[in-house]
């Protein structure tokens, strides 16, 4: 598929972390008609580009989805009510209500004659019984079945994947589905309850440095393992899958560099030049014991896998969060990036 397809490219969830980066990436690559959509007021978007057509819409509503999809050639659905483990474990119903967004966007995209529809799924779709050991092997795409995903958020994502599949089979709408693995980087949430582990740990270390504290709270035992995908790799993988004529199935876009949470703290401390006393909170939400991305499939079909080293991505992320906290800027302060 040509990247120069005429027509509007729509990014839903553009006020969020990945969506904001995606809008900027599209504009830098010469897409002249980019429509950016989010439910949040414009002043609360993490990045806002004046070159884009920026709309505040509630995509749970079918009429708003029709407005978003009007005249579109490509629709990226990154919109969801979600956050890190602290949010999704305590807001299962809100997470599942995001099914309205994908359902109505698919309907509106079909009506509008959209050429290609992208859905951002998650590693949370993978079966829980394959993630009980911190020494977990990488999760292959087929490990989503028999289904036992993360309660709430994972079920919504898995259902929405199936909805995309059946819109392709029954209506001919070309859909692409990516399972993101813990995407992180600058220009996203780092406090307030929706932040994910990399940003939360960067905030905790930066706050300790700035405030003179010598302690840090770690959720769980610190032995749970994950892989974390830097935003630049996420954008490349998103673009490659969207443009592919062969990747018509859900596929991992995730780093295979597995680390424990304790090792992730080590990296942030090294970047910050401090060593903190760790206080563990086993009662806090911690998710599965182990999760990592198996990249066999994406390497075979696209000849690529995420490659930004965790140390490099975390240094960039920490520096940005440190500067934000030090400056006193709001976490929701918009960046006019155009």
User: pTM above the 0.85 mark?
Assistant: yes
> CB of 267 within 8 A of CB of 113?
no
Write the DSSP symbol of residue 290.
Answer: B
pLDDT for 330: 54
Peptide bond into 299 cis (omega under 30): no
pLDDT for 127: 95
pLDDT for 87: 81
pLDDT for 245: 97
pLDDT for 286: 80
What are the residue ranges in the chain where pLDDT is below 70? 1-6, 330-338
Q: Summarize pLDDT for 69-93 with one digit per residue, the tens.
A: 999 999 999 999 877 777 877 889 9
Q: Cβ atoms within 10 A of the Cβ of 66, count?
A: 17
> CB of 295 within 8 A of CB of 252?
yes
| Ramachandran category for residue 10: left, alpha or beta (phi over 0 → left; psi -120 to 50 → alpha) | beta
Angle at 294 between CA 121 and CA 250, to 5 degrees: 30
Residue 199 has which token pair? 């940003």
At 236, which helix (H) or strand (E)? helix 231-243
Share in percent of the chain as helix, strand, coil (round to 5): 40, 20, 40
pLDDT for 287: 83
pLDDT for 6: 58
Q: Summarize pLDDT for 234-280 with one digit per residue, the tens.
A: 999 999 999 999 999 999 999 999 999 999 999 999 999 999 999 99
pLDDT for 333: 43
In the chain, the domains with their CATH numbers are: 8-183+230-255 (3.40.50.720)
Distance of alpha carbon 205 from alpha carbon 214, whole angstroms: 9
pLDDT for 2: 39
Residue 98 has which token pair? 């995001």
Residue 220: partners with Cβ closer than 8 Å, 6 or more residues away: 261, 280, 281, 282, 284, 286
pLDDT for 83: 73
pLDDT for 4: 41
Catalytic sites, residue numbers: 153
In terms of Cα–Cα distance, which of 31, 40, 19, 2 is closest to 231?
A: 19
Angle at 319 between CA 315 and CA 320, to 5 degrees: 120
């Amino acid at each position: 598929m040509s990247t120069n397809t005429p027509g509007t490219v729509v990014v839903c969830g553009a006020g969020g972390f990945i969506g904001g980066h995606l809008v900027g990436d599209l504009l830098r690559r010469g897409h002249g008609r980019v429509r950016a959509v989010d439910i949040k007021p414009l002043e609360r978007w993490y990045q806002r580009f004046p070159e884009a057509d920026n709309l505040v819409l509630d995509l749970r509503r079918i009429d708003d989805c029709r407005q978003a999809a009007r005249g579109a050639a490509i629709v990226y659905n990154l919109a969801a009510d979600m956050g890190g483990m602290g949010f999704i474990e305590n807001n299962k119903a809100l997470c599942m209500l995001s099914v309205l967004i994908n359902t109505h966007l698919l309907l509106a995209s079909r009506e509008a004659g959209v050429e290609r529809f992208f859905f951002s799924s998650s590693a949370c779709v993978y079966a829980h019984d394959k993630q009980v050991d911190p020494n977990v092997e990488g999760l292959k795409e087929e490990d989503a079945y028999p289904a036992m995903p993360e309660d709430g958020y994972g079920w919504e994502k898995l259902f929405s994947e199936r909805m995309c599949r059946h819109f392709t089979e029954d209506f001919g709408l070309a859909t692409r589905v990516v399972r993101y693995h813990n995407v992180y980087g600058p220009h996203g949430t780092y406090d307030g309850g929706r932040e994910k582990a990399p940003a939360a740990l960067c905030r905790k270390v930066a706050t300790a440095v700035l405030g003179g504290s010598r302690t840090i709270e770690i959720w769980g035992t610190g032995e749970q393992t994950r892989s974390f995908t830097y935003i630049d790799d996420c954008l490349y993988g998103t673009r490659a899958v969207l443009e592919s004529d062969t990747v018509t199935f859900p596929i991992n876009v995730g780093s295979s560099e597995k680390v424990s949470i304790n090792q992730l703290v080590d990296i942030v401390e090294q970047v910050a030049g401090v060593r903190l006393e760790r206080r563990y909170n086993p009662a806090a939400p911690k998710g599965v014991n182990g999760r990592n991305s198996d990249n066999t499939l994406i390497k075979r079909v696209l000849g690529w896998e995420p490659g930004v080293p965790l140390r490099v991505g975390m240094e960039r992320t920490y520096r940005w969060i440190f500067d934000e906290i030090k400056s006193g800027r709001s976490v929701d302060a918009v960046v006019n990036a155009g």
